[in-house]
Amino acid sequence: MSALTDDEKAIVQKLAEQYEDVAPFRLKSGDLVVVRKCNPAERSRLVDRISDQKAGKGTSTMSATMKELTLSCVVYPEKTAAKGLLERYSALYDKFANKAYELAGGDVEELGKD
């Protein structure tokens, strides 16, 4: 994986100052994508929709739910360009949604359970 250029480092730093927790990704195409953590309302929507889907109550699919979270949490490039990249590499919806959730504390290791 290639390192960030100085310009990209500046972009990521600015976004980190604005959003606190961000994660940069380099696509095989060379494009930079930056994902921020999901906020509490986005997390609640995600959990509620997944719960509804499991209970057979939801009208939203898992795919649509992950897509919505991803589009909310991709902060670079701008939305139109991000949508284009995500349509070209559709599996990234899940990867980026999972990263947004992880940045919000959704991926922790419990200690002392030996």
């699919």: which residue's tokens? 61
Mean pLDDT of the chain: 87
Separation of alpha carbons 67 and 73, rounded Å: 10
Q: What is the pLDDT of residue 114?
A: 64
Q: Average pLDDT in the 19-42 region? A: 92
In the chain the domains, ranked by start, together with CATH numbers, are 6-103 (3.30.2220.10)
The more confident residue out of 92 and 2 is 92
Record the tokens describing residue 109, joined without a space. 């290791």
**Contact 77/33 with Cβ under 8 angstroms?**
yes
pLDDT tens figures, 47-102: 787 777 777 776 777 778 888 889 999 999 999 999 999 999 989 988 998 899 89
pTM to 2 decimals? 0.81
